[in-house]
Amino acid sequence: VELLERAAYYGVFVVITLYLSRILGFSDVQAAWLSGSFAAGLYFLPVFSGALADKIGFRKALLLAFALLATGYASLAIFPSMLEAKGLVEYGRTVNFTGLLEADVRWVIVPILVVIMIGGSFIKAVISATVAISTSSENRARGFSIFYLIVNIGAFSGKTIVKPLRESMGDLGLINLNYFAAGMTALAFLAILLFFKNVEEKTNGKSFSEILLALKSVLSNGRLITLLLIITGFWIVQQQLYATMPKYVLRMAGEGASPSWYANVNPLVVVLTVSFVTTLMSKKSALNSMAVGMFIMPFAALVMAAGNLFEGDIDLGIVQFHPIAFMMIVGITFQALAESFISPRFMEYFSLQAPKGEEALYLGFSYMHSFISSIIGFGLSGYLLTAYCPDPRLFESREAWELASSNAHYIWIIFAGIAATSAVSLIIYGK
């Protein structure tokens, strides 16, 4: 079910900013804040949904989660028909961009995103807690490595479906891929209903006041929170796979670019390397493993910025790439390698802090770095895109847009600086 949920989520999320801008007419900044708030909520709510899952049982929590997800994704597909009825959308061709800029009805997307956000928050707390409960201290790193492998297989399959939909249906594909996501989560609902058995011990759950006390306890652990904030720097850059990259490559490399497939390089490389990296670093501390990944990250961002250094397509014999696209793929490859060093070991480190019987609650706190990085990463992306790589539809001529986007690579240099700062901070933290 983790595989199905991730396939649904990433199939939608990899083009969520395109959906918000091209289908609903939001500006880069508006789309960034909406997407970032959605992702941030998805990572903050496990603090509370995890506690509720401990109380009602993991099986009931997952049934509720997948019911909400299937409803929410289906609503993303159905909602644009309201705009069509108002004459704001021309299916199969382009969005009536000017009309949508003033259309209040597009803000109905907010409660739809909230439904998906609540459903997804249960998944994050419950599945990772199931892994923690089903493993021992001796094999927990391996358990989370397998978990992370499945996450990335799901992410790969979800992103793969986006390109053929866009090529065959244009912007209409950005709408119809939500039916795919709804189908995947409905299938996961049936799988839970038929096959899933609770593995957790029966508990009375936590009250809201107890959750706040637990949150206060975690936040008072200065060493743990400092590490979480440092790791946030890595995730701010990682978020750009969805915040900046899709719009950046389509604008700089042309509509023939395939941002969803470029993003797929990330889970593919993680799937191929995470088990090897975990084994390689098994005798090293979690902090040492994370430090290796943190120093790979700024190099990855600089590679992404280097596409403008080449002239003409890059010919690999059987396939040609626009230089922007090619360097983006190379950069994402290094980014994924960094993730293999960092993410499984961070989850292992955090899970070992969980008191017995409170695994779901405590694992919910482990996603706080993504809560912070979603808000900062997406919000910063909107402003950087507006400043260095703006929407071509806002310009009267191609020449005017090219002048405005001549320093688009600055975006990735800024993110390289953020990654480098986090890497150095982790070394200081370790000392």
What span, in angstroms and rounded, lies between the C-alpha atoms of 212 and 191? 33
Q: How many of the other CB atoms lie within 10 Å of CB of 167?
A: 12
**Where does residue 111 rank: exposed (0-12), middle (13-18), buried (19+ CB within 10 A)?**
exposed
pLDDT value of position 362: 63
Which of 72-81, 217-226, 323-332, 368-377 is predicted least confidently? 217-226
356 pLDDT exceeds 60?
yes
What pLDDT sits at residue 396? 87
User: Mean pLDDT throughout 228-241?
Assistant: 91
Higher pLDDT, 248 or 362: 248
Q: What is the pLDDT of residues 297-327, one digit of tens each?
A: 999 999 999 988 888 788 777 888 899 999 9
- Per-residue pLDDT, averaged over 291-296, amounts to 91
Higher model confidence: residue 183 or residue 349?
Answer: 183
pLDDT value at residue 30: 92
Q: State residue 100's pLDDT score.
A: 53
pLDDT at 14 over 60: yes
Determine the residue type at 34: L
Task: Give the pLDDT score at 29.
Answer: 93
pLDDT at 98: 47
CA distance 360 to 61: 11
Can you spell out the DSSP letters for 138-180? TTHHHHHHHHHHHHHHHHHHHHHTHHHHHHHHTTHHHHHHHHH
Residue 95: phi, psi to the nearest 5? -80, 140
The 3-state DSSP class for residue 205 equals coil
Digit-coded pLDDT (tens) for 39-87: 998 888 877 787 788 788 888 889 999 999 999 999 998 888 766 655 5
Of 330, 299, 335, 297, residue with least CA distance to 314: 330
Q: Would you say residue 102 has pLDDT above 60?
A: no
Q: What is the pLDDT of residues 380-400, one digit of tens each?
A: 999 999 999 999 888 889 999
- Please tell me the distance from the alpha carbon of residue 68 to that of residue 94, in angstroms, as a whole number: 30
Beta bridge partners of 321: 314
Query: What pLDDT sits at residue 99?
Result: 46
For 232-300, give the DSSP string: HHHHHHHTHHHHTHHHHHHHHH-TT--HHHHHHHHHHHHHHHHHHHHHHTTTS-HHHHHHHHHHHHHHH
Which of residues 225 and 239 earns the better pLDDT score? 239
| Rounded mean pLDDT, 221-229 | 81
Please give the span between the terminal C-alpha atoms of the chain, in angstroms, as a whole number. Answer: 40
Distances (CA, A) of 119 to 23, 170, 205: 24, 29, 19
* Amino acid identity at 40: A
Task: Provide the CA 322 distance to its chain's centre, in angstroms.
Answer: 25
Q: What is the pLDDT of residues 116-171, one digit of tens each?
A: 999 998 887 788 788 878 888 778 878 887 887 888 788 888 888 877 876 777 67
Phi, psi of 314 (to 5 degrees): -95, 115
Q: Give percent of the chain with pLDDT exceeding 70.
A: 88
CB-CB contact of 124 with 43 (8 Å): yes
Per-residue model confidence (pLDDT) at position 264: 86
Higher-confidence position of 204 and 224: 224
Binned at pLDDT 50, 70 and 90, residue 252 comes out as very high
Residue 93's pLDDT band, with cuts at 50, 70 and 90, is very low
The per-residue pLDDT for 82 is: 66
Q: Which two tokens stand for residue 347?
A: 């989850």
* Mean pLDDT estimate for the chain: 84
C-alpha distances (whole Å) from 151 to each of 92, 104, 166 are 32, 36, 24
Q: What pLDDT is stored for residue 201 in this prediction?
A: 63
Torsion of CA 248, 326, 335, 431, to 10 degrees: -100
